[in-house]
Amino acid sequence: MYLGADYYPEHWEKERWPIDADLMQRAGISLVRLSEFAWSKLEPEDDLYDFAWLDEAMDILNEKGVKVVLSTPTAAPPSWLIGKHLQILPLLKNGQRMGFGKRRHYCITNRTYYHFSERIIRKLAEHYKNNAQVIGWQVDNEFGNPKCYCDNCKKEFQHWLKLKYKTLENLNQSWGNAFWSHDYICWEQIPLPIVDYHNPSFDLDFKRFFSDMNVKYSNMQIELLKSISPDKFVTHNFMGLFPELNYYDLAEKYDFVSWDNYPQGLEKRFQVALAHDVMRGLKKKNFWVMEQQCGCITREDITPALSPGEMRLWTYHSYAHGAEAVVYFRWRACTFGIEQFHSGILQHDGTDKSIAYKETAQIASEIDRIRAQLEGSKVISPVAIIYDYENIWVNYSYQEKPMYNYSDEILRFYKAIRKKGINVDIVKPTDDFSKYKVVVAPLMYIVDDETANNIKKYVKEGGTFIAGFRFGIKDRHSNIVKSILPGKLRELFGMSIYAWDNLRERKIEVQTSSGEVYQADTFADLITPEKAKPLAEYKNSWHASYAAVTVNTFAKGKSYYVGCGLPQGFYDKFIAEILKGLVPEGIKVPDEVEITLRQKNGKKFIFVMNFSDKSSRIFLNKEYTELKEKKKLQGEINLDPFEVLILL
């Protein structure tokens, strides 16, 4: 369980490096990430390399016992490279070429960039392959945008489509190109999607292509690093709920996932928790936080500073959800560049007087006391939520005015589950669901045969499946299905949907079978029950003859369908009833306090975290040992603002 910092020795005079190393040792920092954006220092001219400064900085850190994760510097190609090969810069959607002066200013398909990337990676890996201080590699930085619309990308897209569809007849039929006379008679006619309101099938395939190109470039780096230094791990700093790439595909060849966590406020607690669980779900294993917020952050604006204790709270929140290392961004606030007001553990003055430095030392001391017991523990969850990138992309086809927000629909269910202290796993539609008591699938447009059979098998064998509105309305090409909704799983849900409505400008009420009345929102699937039992019905307007929420018994299991958006209070009660046998016993907490469990060798480590700047009261109905302080606790307990307990 490492505690670390992102360090940029190239930003500081050499005389400062021993001071930083000493301060790190005193604060309990045992790991740094280096060289992330240092290409111009590592290769100041074409094929002229300088690793001496990095060697010197690492030697100084090594004297203080600090391990290193090295980064491939490919997220920031230097000016000499762009000057010689301007075509490396991406061509933006508006036809303008991206200028030098930011970062990630490269075309993801450019073969020249592949060549120079491979060259610097090989030089770095060869130089440090036998260095025991280097425990692993980070590839690039935050894969994603910008998208490029150059001629080479167009040719690569056309080639990608040809491999996928084999014939133009297949492509034209799959995309529905009879609409608006979009049929193609040769592959070279296929453009890039630079116009608004493009064919949704085209849009989906371009998103798949862009994701695949990022995965291809990422895998090139992984394979090269592994071929040279197979004893060192390789990871990448993902971006939580970032929707533009298929993170399952991107994560496949990494040893583990890391991600960059910037909560920016206590109200983001559930979004951050969901992001942690998504990251853990990509490889079904614990993860690292490679950039953890430790103060205010900035680009165009400056966010509020973290209150004393808040950095510690977010750190333990990361560990609670499965982090094995937390690395703060950054060690010291920079005095130049676009991130001048981005806080570090040290502020610009470089002294040990900052709030974050004192908190880091406290956290490190606590981690030292609990490391042996917590290392190797895992998050075990009885509930899973399906999180699928192709469904995200299909939902966002109409970017000018998206009808739904995918993560918001996930969060309605996720919040209700987490409020009960129940752990959640994030899964793909084709994963094995058999170990879960309940599986939830919000906004799952695409349901192909493999997914439908997987869900049906799960419910048949006794599982409980919950679907949100608009379930199964599209095929894998983003075309609406021709069957009665909910399509392939109509029998599973025991009902039909013949009508639906956008509720943006309507006030439609829903009444549950127990009498509560809620206002529906977002969208309404108007359900005609067949074998299913209505749990809630629309109450007014022409919607009143339809069910809003149903349950159906199917073989040994049950399937629920929530046909519209509803206030959070509905989800809280609905989920509490379904999951009542799964709620952790022995602890009662208010809404501002989160409970999360990690397990190891039959022991449960219960993280209790107060996400409030005020004191909270919890109740323990049996005796627990608080792991950090080694003290016994029972009965009514007062939690200070931002306080964290780890109970055993």
The residue count for the chain: 648
Instruction: Tell me the HSE value of 296 on the side-chain side, using a 13 A CA sphere.
Output: 15
Tell me the domain boundaries of the chain.
2-84+110-144+213-374, 383-578, 587-647
Whole-angstrom distance, CA of residue 54 vs CA of residue 308? 34
SS3 for 463?
A: coil
160 has a pLDDT exceeding 70: yes
CATH number of 587-647: 2.60.40.1180
Query: Which residues are paired to 534 by β-bridges?
Result: 550
Whole-angstrom distance, CA of residue 531 vs CA of residue 518? 25
User: Virtual CA dihedral for 472, 478, 484, 488, nearest 10 degrees?
Assistant: -50
* 509-512 and 517-519 beta bridge pairing: antiparallel
For residue 460, give the H/E element and its range.
helix 449-460
Average pLDDT, the chain: 96
Report the Cα 73 to chain-centroid distance in Å.
23
Candidate from 6-10, 194-198, 235-239, 392-396 with smallest mean pLDDT: 194-198
484 has a pLDDT exceeding 60: yes
Average pLDDT value for residue range 306-322: 98
220 has a pLDDT exceeding 90: yes
pLDDT confidence band for 59 (50 / 70 / 90): very high
215 has a pLDDT exceeding 90: yes
Average pLDDT value for residue range 397-405: 68
What value, to the nearest 5°, has the Cα angle with vertex 609 and ends 605 and 610? 160
197 has a pLDDT exceeding 80: no
Average pLDDT value for residue range 468-496: 97
pLDDT confidence band for 363 (50 / 70 / 90): very high
396 has a pLDDT exceeding 90: no
What value, to the nearest 5°, has the Cα angle with vertex 268 and ends 263 and 272? 60
Average pLDDT value for residue range 451-462: 98
Residue 195: the pLDDT is 81
196 has a pLDDT exceeding 90: no
Q: Which amino acid is at 578?
A: I
Judge whether 530 counts as a catalytic residue: no
- H helices present in 44-194, as ranges: 52-63, 79-84, 111-128, 151-165, 168-175
Of the residues 36, 43, 291, 537, only one is catalytic, namely 291
Identify which of 52, 113, 54 has the alpha carbon closest to the alpha carbon of residue 86: 113
400 has a pLDDT exceeding 60: no
Pick the CATH number of 383-578 from 1.10.1470.10, 1.10.10.410, 3.90.1150.10, 3.40.50.880: 3.40.50.880
Q: 541 exposed, middle or buried (CB, 10 Å; 0-12, 13-18, 19+)? A: exposed
Whole-angstrom distance, CA of residue 385 vs CA of residue 277? 10
pLDDT one-digit tens code per residue, 109-135: 999 999 999 999 999 999 999 999 999
The DSSP code sequence of 94-137 is TSPBPPSSSS--S-TT-HHHHHHHHHHHHHHHHHHTT-TTEEEE
Judge whether 118 counts as a catalytic residue: no
397 has a pLDDT exceeding 90: no
Whole-angstrom distance, CA of residue 460 vs CA of residue 454? 10
Query: Which residues are paired to 646 by β-bridges?
Result: 607
Residue 270: the pLDDT is 98
* 323-329 and 2-6 beta bridge pairing: parallel
399 has a pLDDT exceeding 60: no
Of the residues 36, 43, 142, 324, only one is catalytic, namely 142
Residue 300: the pLDDT is 73
401 has a pLDDT exceeding 60: no
SS3 for 13?
A: coil
User: Virtual CA dihedral for 303, 307, 312, 315, nearest 10 degrees?
Assistant: -20
Tokens matching residue 179: 């609409």
* pTM flag (> 0.75): yes
SS3 for 638?
A: strand
pLDDT one-digit tens code per residue, 257-292: 999 999 999 999 999 999 999 999 999 999 999 999
The residues, any chain, with a CB within 8 Å of residue 479's CB and separated by 6 or more, are 174, 176, 200, 201
For residue 189, give the H/E element and its range.
none
**Which residue has tokens 């750190």?**
315
SS3 for 345?
A: coil
% of the chain residues with pLDDT over 90: 95
Q: 632 exposed, middle or buried (CB, 10 Å; 0-12, 13-18, 19+)? A: exposed
CATH T-level topology, domain 2-84+110-144+213-374? TIM Barrel (3.20.20)
Whole-angstrom distance, CA of residue 47 vs CA of residue 50? 10
Whole-angstrom distance, CA of residue 340 vs CA of residue 333? 7
479 has a pLDDT exceeding 70: yes
pLDDT one-digit tens code per residue, 546-577: 999 999 999 999 999 999 999 999 999 999 99
